[in-house]
């Protein structure tokens, strides 16, 4: 499968009735990216999430992407970016503290396997996970969106709150790496996860 540029206009995220808009209005929309899921229907979002989790998180990526993450974690360890006093419930409040009662779920706060994120909430068409360190408070929003051809596709939006001038400089510095290396690798991996969902999570009604 060839890789296309999956970047989506910000309005495509901002204009949809996601619950995250009311919960995190003070976060900046950094990126919106789309991922093809051929044959997907309106109820297949849980299948897509299960396939992504089974595909290995950040541990199953091309060598260059693994190298970039390894460098980032090494720098973070050396400079104290990821210490506990810079994270959720320390430097910043977790987004879970803002949730209305109908979004409070048992899995909230659980680590997302093979990633530095923790769960905030998951709905039939929307999921939010978060992380915080010395550089930024970051939300990863996954949404399930009709693509205009009678099918659905996955959308990923990064919402950020940089930590002061240092955080803003950091976000600018890593932007080329996100666009040129990380997002194309995620596109290959996440679109392949959908195509291989039966192998990863077993047969589903949507895939039968």
Three-state SS for 159? strand
Residues of the chain with pLDDT under 70: 1-5, 57-60, 205-208
Amino acid 1: pLDDT: 40
**26 and 146 Cβ atoms separated by less than 8 Å:** no
pLDDT digits (tens, 9 = 90+) for 10-59: 999 999 999 999 999 999 999 999 999 999 999 999 999 999 999 876 56
Cα–Cα distance measured from residue 116 to residue 110, given in angstroms and rounded to the nearest whole number: 11
Cα–Cα distance measured from residue 59 to residue 44, given in angstroms and rounded to the nearest whole number: 24
Amino acid 3: pLDDT: 43
Amino acid 72: pLDDT: 87
Amino acid 82: pLDDT: 86
Q: Name the token pair of 106.
A: 């048992």
């Amino acid at each position: 499968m060839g890789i296309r540029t999956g970047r989506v206009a910000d309005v495509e995220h901002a204009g949809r009735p996601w619950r995250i808009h009311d919960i995190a209005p003070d976060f900046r929309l950094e990126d919106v990216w789309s991922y093809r899921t051929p044959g997907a229907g309106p109820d297949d979002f849980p299948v897509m999430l299960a396939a992504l989790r089974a595909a290995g998180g950040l541990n199953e990526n091309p060598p260059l992407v693994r190298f970039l993450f390894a460098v980032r974690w090494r720098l973070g360890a050396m400079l104290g970016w990821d210490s506990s006093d810079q994270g959720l419930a320390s430097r910043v409040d977790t987004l879970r503290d803002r949730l209305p009662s109908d979004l409070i779920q048992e899995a909230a706060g659980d680590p997302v396997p093979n990633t530095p994120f923790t769960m905030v909430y998951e709905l039939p068409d929307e999921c939010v996970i978060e992380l915080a360190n010395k550089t930024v408070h970051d939300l990863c929003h996954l949404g399930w969106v009709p693509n205009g051809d009678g099918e659905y596709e996955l959308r990923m939006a990064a919402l950020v709150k940089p930590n002061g001038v240092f955080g803003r400089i950091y976000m600018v510095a890593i932007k080329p790496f996100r666009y040129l290396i990380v997002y194309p690798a995620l596109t290959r991996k996440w679109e392949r996860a959908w195509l291989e969902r039966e192998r990863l999570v077993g047969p589903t009604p949507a895939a039968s």
